[in-house]
A and B are shown apart, each in its own frame.
Chain A
């Protein structure tokens, strides 16, 4: 297990392995997302209260989930980089920050669009919205720090420290904001508990969540491979690969 982990940590192995996975991942992502989207937008019955606007949920809820777990993954990469000094983890951290920020932004925007027909306003200063906004600022902070710093090694380690600091603070921020004001419904999607919504609405949501995660990993791996090519451009195997093309 540890050896496998170590081998995966080498940029070249990672590059070759994920290159092999790439077409499959891409096809699977497309299939699941398209399937989920068609199911959710065309075949799910409209909600008895919200009507058709409930379909925004299928875009919004997976984005909001991914926004949070994306930060967890970023902080995980940061820990791996700081503890084991695996360069690949730094590249993963670099690659995931803009991705997480855009997913968080998507969650905010779709939330606003959904809020207009259901709550009658684009934005409310409600706990879950506010903590997602702050999550967005945390992502932006990591990106801003990276772009302000020169020296790849130093910038990477500084960002890793900041990501971990954010991770420690995130629960405190969450609870304080929750406690500050609550209007938003509690999380509507829990894997382990019996869903509060009917099955015919829950299943397409599950498909969409899986599709979002697949999309996230596909793009993340693509960005990491890009970064590997940039950083290792002076090595033999990258030159060989480029020459092949």
Chain B
């Protein structure tokens, strides 16, 4: 088997054996969502008005909370150095890590999103769009996040730093995704937004692993 699927399968196996690390970001997502009605008030009109934004911000934060899953254990147990020494492409390695991360951190959020939408009184059309937008964007979130995770991999308290480094980069997808939900509310066509989000995804697939791979090499040089 070639390197990419081997690496993805290995990661999935590692994560399945330590389920708490995978579940924590999802619990975080649920807790953040349930705090908002307490802060804003339980009225359905108000909540459904701000729900897309709430769900999106919670999803961004939850994704960043799971960034430690990407490279940290590989860095600490030396597998990262072995991969570099083996001469495998670090670009492909990064891409495989991101792919596994998306499967265990991004996809569950997409599944969880309808529940959050229902709790915040969104109607079915909006929930469908919300889930579609997250499905399109969550790989981009993992890709951009991998840059921050790789840059901070050797640092003792990298978690907070990752959020500072990466959240500004999430602005475009946040704007486009929430605008897409808004378009559905207004009864407009969303095809344009889908193209935009896909374009950003393709750009991230091409460029983000380059930056992340360079940062990983840097971390392993130490």
Interface residues of A (CB under 8 A from B): 82, 134, 137-138, 140-141, 144-145, 148-149, 151, 154, 157-158, 161-162, 164-166, 168-169, 172-173, 175-177, 179-180
Contact = CB atoms under 8 A, between A and B. Distances in A.
Contact of B164 (A137, A157, A166, A179): A137
A154 B222 contact: yes
Interface string B100-130: 0000000000000000000000000000000
Give the contact-size bracket for chain B.
Answer: 20 to 34
Given A158-B218, A173-B171, A165 B211 contact: yes
Interface in B140-178: 147, 151-152, 155, 157-158, 161, 164-165, 167-169, 171-172, 175-176
Which of A145, A165, A176, A177 has the largest number of chain B CB atoms within 10 A?
A: A165
A176 B169 CA distance: 11
A179 B192 CA distance: 13
Contacts of A166: 168-169
Contact of B200 (A145, A162, A172): A172
B77 interface: no
7 contacts: A145-B161, A148-B157, A151-B222, A158-B151, A169-B168, A173-B172, A180-B179
A28 B207 CA distance: 43
A141 B172 contact: no
A161 B215 contact: yes
A151 B154 CA distance: 11
Interface in B12-64: none
Interface SS of A by simple majority: helix
Contacts of B222: 151, 154
B195 to A, nearest CB: 14
Contacts of B175: 176-177, 179-180
Contacts, number: 69
Contact of B171 (A144, A151, A164, A177): A177
A212 B215 CA distance: 35
A148 B218 contact: no
B111 to A, nearest CB: 27
Nearest to B166: A141
A168 B175 CA distance: 18
Which of B152, B155, B168, B176 has the largest number of chain A CB atoms within 10 A?
A: B168
Contacts of B214: 82, 161
B186 to A, nearest CB: 15
A169 B175 CA distance: 14
Given A173-B171, A176-B171, A177-B171, A158 B215 contact: yes
Given A134-B171, A180-B175, 16 more contacts: A144-B161, A145-B151, A145-B152, A154-B221, A158-B215, A161-B151, A161-B218, A162-B151, A164-B211, A165-B211, A172-B200, A173-B169, A175-B172, A176-B176, A177-B175, A179-B175
